[in-house]
Amino acid sequence: MLPLLSPQEATFFSALDAQLDKIESFFLDREKEMAKRSHLIKVQVQELSLHRKQFYAAQREDGWLATLHAKTSQLRGLKVAHTPNQLADIKEADAQKANEENQHAREDANSREIINRAGGLDPDEYLSAKKALRKAVVENYRYDCPSF
């Protein structure tokens, strides 16, 4: 179709094509940049999630949650009359809970080991990382979703 146009029109359409190529390359570069940033943010979210689990696990073992757990354990030791069916259900639930607690303890120990190798648990570091991550996510969405 370009050969059928006058020389002025052909020049005009060539200039339009050049501008369109510039725009397309610009947005492809921005898309690659945002993909890299999104990947980095996902990695940071995963690391923060792991740190958060370890932080709360450590708080559970050392803080007021440990005291609360000890008190509730004492209350569970009280004798209550149950029917045989209720006792079977309680034993089954206790066994299932013990299995879950053992699994969580193993996961917590593995995660705690990873965090301790990385420098230990620090609530201030956790909060600053959380704040920085929140800022990065907001900034990412600001660039991804411009307002019109």
pTM (2 decimals)?
0.36
Q: Quick one: tokens of 95?
A: 């066994």
Residue 8 main-chain phi, psi, to 5 deg? -65, -40
Nearest to 130 by CA among 71, 57, 31, 56: 56
What is the percentage of the chain residues whose pLDDT exceeds 90?
20
Of 5-9, 36-40, 54-58, 110-114, the range with the highest mean pLDDT is 36-40
Q: Which of 79, 75, 57 is nearest to 66 (CA)?
A: 57
Q: Where do the structural domains in the chain lie, given as residue ranges?
A: 1-62+136-148
Residue type, 21: D
Torsion sign (Cα): 22, 27, 31, 34: positive
pLDDT tens column, 86-141 = 667 777 888 888 888 777 777 766 766 666 665 556 677 777 888 888 888 887 77
DSSP state of 43: H
The predicted model gives 38-59 an average pLDDT of 86
pLDDT tens for each residue of 93-102: 888 888 887 7
3-state helix, strand, coil in the chain (%, to 5): 85, 0, 15
